[in-house]
Chain A
Amino acid sequence: MNNQPQTSIPAHSFSPGSAAAIGLANCHSCGQLSPHLITHCPRCHARLHLRTPYSLQKTLAFLLTALIFYIPANLFPIMTSEQLGVIEATTIIGGIIVLWEMGSYPIAVVVFVASVLVPIVKFIILFWLCYCAKFGSPMSAKELSVLYRTTEFIGRWSMVDVFVVAVLVALIQLGTLLNVQPGIAAITFAMMVILTIIAAQMFDPRLLWDRLLVAPDNQQNAQQNKQQNNQQSDQQENKEH
């Protein structure tokens, strides 16, 4: 039954041992394997693909848009407070410096990690993953997979600062005595976080394995895998006959 897909796709473009190399598509929605010539998963009716179509292009598009939103998010105030007629605007970085000067070191560190470190690390990792999936990498596919899982996990935590603004704006409304208003950076920062979460979802980590397990520096490894793979498929064929 698997013979037809096996002959119709170039198996060498997928990592050895992968489902795609034997013509099976892993449903992104329910995780059931189906022959890739079927367009929709028979169990859950999701669209079937061997790999996310245009994965790198989509990831880069969302990532670049996020980067554009990240610029005003740092330049403009995230909130402005008015105390007895004195208006004070704070940016993300400014807020962290104020916290540090006030002596709230642990909170300054939490906010710094969530709103500065996490977004920057996420940008670097995702650009690096796209580069590696396209041009090869000095790091192993396993190390890159760990990086990918890390970005998926940490992405949402950057929202902390936006929620802080929401709480402060709602709570501190004492008219001219003291009031807090949101700033442009609050919305651009939230957009940046959302776009990077989508960018990480669009990235297909299987591309790393496809690229790196057959790359020149891994050739020996890949050949071994291929031999194993051939042996396995030979065995399968023998069984079938």
Chain B
Amino acid sequence: MNKPIACGLCDLVLPTPALTPGQCALCPRCGHKLFRVKDNAIGQLLAYSLTGLILLLLANFFPFMSFSLSGHIMEITLWQAATELYVGPYKLLSLLVFFFIVLFPALILTVIVSFLVSLNWVGSKMFSSTLVRLIFGLLPWAMAEVFFVGVLVSLIKLITIAEIGLGVSFWAYLVFCLCYVKVLTYIDKYQFWHWLDLTTKDE
């Protein structure tokens, strides 16, 4: 398969480079990463996405953080971190936080799993390509790892004024973030469409 491709950043036309697993193709003119081929990418993607999804699900049911000050204890779940803002004029903000830290990451992982499964079991080009377009549309809006840094900053802010406890959810979300970042390293536009071309048929 030696169709020409164009760099997405500078539009330079190139023959599709033939890569072996572990290699990454860079545009010779602007240095933009064109695509990368990884060993057993489909298996790894499935494994990390499913692990991430299970952990994210768990993170919703257990306490995330607790806070105690002179005998009063306050405990929140991950869900509450987003929905406690749902008051007065801050409803929009609450929804945004919920979308960015729970819904979009969960959707991306679910859609990745459905896409990989659909390649083998459905084989419909229309269905699979809708899923790929959904994945790349959602990607800029999932901010799980940014949220985690935010949690760490608030921990340090609070640690001087009160006792802070970390719940099961906190650790689940931490490992979920690691899985999610690992998944991100396997997401590659050219690879996804290449798999789609190989396995699905036009209707």
Contacts and interface: CB of A to CB of B under 8 A. Distances in A.
Interface of B is mostly: helix
Interface size class of B (residues with CB under 8 A): 35 or more
Given A44-B193, A104-B156, A201 B140 contact: yes
Interface in B26-64: 29-32
Interface in B14-33: 29-32
A153 B75 CA distance: 34
Interface in B77-118: 80-85, 89-90, 92-94, 96-97, 100-101
Contacts of B156: 104, 107
B13 to A, nearest CB: 5
B129 A43 contact: yes
B93 A182 contact: yes
A14 B151 CA distance: 46
Contacts of A107: 153, 156-157
Contacts of B89: 184, 187
Given A44-B132, A162-B93, A168-B154, A24 B6 contact: yes
Contacts of A182: 85, 90, 93
Interface string B188-202: 011001000100000
Interface residues of A, number: 63
Contacts of A161: 150
27 contacts: A17-B29, A18-B10, A18-B12, A19-B12, A22-B13, A30-B189, A43-B129, A44-B133, A104-B157, A145-B30, A163-B97, A163-B101, A163-B147, A163-B154, A164-B154, A166-B150, A168-B157, A169-B85, A170-B76, A170-B84, A171-B154, A177-B70, A177-B72, A187-B89, A187-B90, A197-B140, A209-B29
7 residue pairs, one from A and one from B, having the closest CB atoms: A163-B150, A19-B6, A170-B84, A18-B11, A26-B6, A167-B154, A206-B11
